[in-house]
Amino acid sequence: MTLFDLTDEVVVVVGGAGRIGPAVCGALADHGAEVVVADVDRDAGRRVANDVDGTYHHVDVTDETSIRKLYDAVIDGFDRIDAAVHAAYPRDAAYGDAFLARDESDWREQVDAQLTATATLSREAIRRMHPDGAGTAGQSDPDDAVRDGGAVVNFGSTYGMVAPDFRVYEEANMPPSPAHYSASKGGILNLTRYLASEFAPEVRVNAVSPGGVFDEQDPEFVAAYEDRTPMERMADPEDIAGAVVYLVSDAASYVTGENIAVDGGWTAQ
């Protein structure tokens, strides 16, 4: 069990008040971590932080300055960051619009809100973990924090690995997961591999790719999705949390550049 012991480890969970974030924060806290809940929703973020006896910090992942302030605040409060989990996913009002209905500005907005945001989050976290401060990027050290390595976990998706099964959505008469989502998540997975290669051995960078998470969706969609999934159910947030705990713990000390699909077998077919 010591392999999974996170006692006194400082772990930042960005998107900690989202659909999956509270379960991730809870699991990390149960394993002893000092959890920093970072979210744009102040009220929800504070509730989650209170539930896990953690700390809340506001962050808007679409704002580079806000991201820097978050990680500076964590360093100011704890002197280090041991792990960073990037689980936020902002959506615009037209999130579900079809590919042909989106113009370039719509596309850029959503890709920036996910892929670019994850790149910025990863950069600022790694700057504060890697002994060189800026790795091989040649950029100046942003602060005086002590760096002795760490772990980054980015959130991908099964739809960053495979295309949606459009029949599942057609049976429920609901819009499919949008194209920009798949493009962003696929980019995040290869970004994760790139960063793992560049910043090893000091910083491990991995990804978790959830399958569909149950959230009171249309019953016809749920039935169609579960019929398509070997495990015959949608995911619960707690299913995803276990993979995150593993990746930030010493149990994964020789694991970097990997993507764990937590999808009930969806991508195995």
**Which residues participate in catalysis according to the annotation?**
181
The Cα–Cα gap between 156 and 187 comes to 9
- Which residues lie below 8 Å from residue 175, measured CB to CB, with a gap of 6+? 96, 97, 98, 169
- Which residues lie below 8 Å from residue 103, measured CB to CB, with a gap of 6+? none
The Cα–Cα gap between 235 and 226 comes to 10
- Assign 3-class secondary structure to the chain: CHHHCCCCCEEEEECCCCCCHHHHHHHHHHCCCEEEEEECCHHHHHHHHHHCCCEEEECCCCCHHHHHHHHHHHHHHHCCCCEEEECCCCCCCCCCCCHHHCCHHHHHHHHHHHHHHHHHHHHHHHHCCCCCCCCCCCCCCCCCCCCCCEEEEEECCHHHCCCCCHHHHHHHCCCCCCHHHHHHHHHHHHHHHHHHHHHCCCEEEEEEEECCECCCCCHHHHHHHHHHCCCCCCECHHHHHHHHHHHHCHHHCCCCCCEEEECCCHHHC
